[in-house]
């Protein structure tokens, strides 16, 4: 693992998503200019898995995705939200359960990659208390010490 720019990895993943899906509108909001973390070549897979999940489970004709990068708790938080069907509370609790694989392999891979970096992933409602209006995935990465 080596110092890696979260912003550069996000820009590449969002660009690939826009190129692959012409029915997606992505709004990005970077609150930091430089977000360096210790990561490897799999960081792109991590973002691609979560972004693709937001698209694949969205029944809307035009899908909306919001990507935010900010400094948070001694590290950095990347949030990826969508306006899809959302995830019920029961499913949220079991989404990352490896024995059930409710989220498919992509989210399990994302969780494993993030754990390798010392981070964590959580899922909530995009709009609190209204799960049917989309999901919000928060990925936290510890900041890199140079």
Angle between the 43-56 and 6-20 helix axes, to the nearest 10 degrees?
Answer: 40
Strand 36-39 relative to strand 2-5, pairing: antiparallel
- Do 39 and 5 meet the contact criterion of CB atoms below 8 Å apart? no
User: What is the pLDDT at residue 145?
Assistant: 58
Long-range contacts of 121-125 (CB under 8 A, 24+ apart): 121/50, 121/96, 123/87, 123/92, 123/95, 124/92, 125/86, 125/87
User: What is the pLDDT at residue 85?
Assistant: 84
Greatest CA separation for the chain: 45
Q: Which helix (H) or strand (E) holds 141?
A: strand 135-142
**Domains of the chain listed by start with CATH number:** 2-142 (3.30.565.10)
* Cβ neighbours of residue 96 closer than 8 Å, sequence gap 6 or more: 103, 107, 108, 111, 121
User: What pLDDT tens digit does each residue of the chain (146 aa) get?
Assistant: 999 999 999 999 999 999 999 899 999 999 998 899 999 999 999 999 899 888 888 888 899 999 999 998 889 999 999 998 888 777 776 666 666 555 556 777 888 899 999 999 998 888 888 888 899 999 999 987 55
pTM summary value: 0.88
């Amino acid at each position: 693992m080596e110092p890696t720019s979260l912003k550069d990895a996000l820009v590449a993943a969002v660009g690939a998503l826009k190129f692959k899906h012409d029915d997606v509108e992505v709004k990005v909001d970077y609150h930091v200019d430089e977000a360096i973390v210790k990561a490897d070549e799999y960081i792109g897979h991590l973002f691609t898995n979560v972004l693709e999940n937001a698209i694949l489970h969205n029944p809307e004709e035009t899908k909306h995705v919001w990507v935010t990068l900010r400094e948070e708790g001694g590290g950095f938080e990347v949030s990826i939200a969508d306006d899809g069907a959302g995830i019920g509370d029961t499913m949220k609790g079991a989404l990352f359960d490896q024995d059930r694989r409710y989220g498919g392999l992509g989210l399990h891979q994302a969780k494993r990659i993030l754990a390798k970096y010392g981070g964590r992933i959580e899922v909530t409602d995009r709009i609190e208390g209204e799960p049917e209006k989309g999901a919000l995935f928060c990925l936290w990465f510890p900041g890199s010490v140079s």
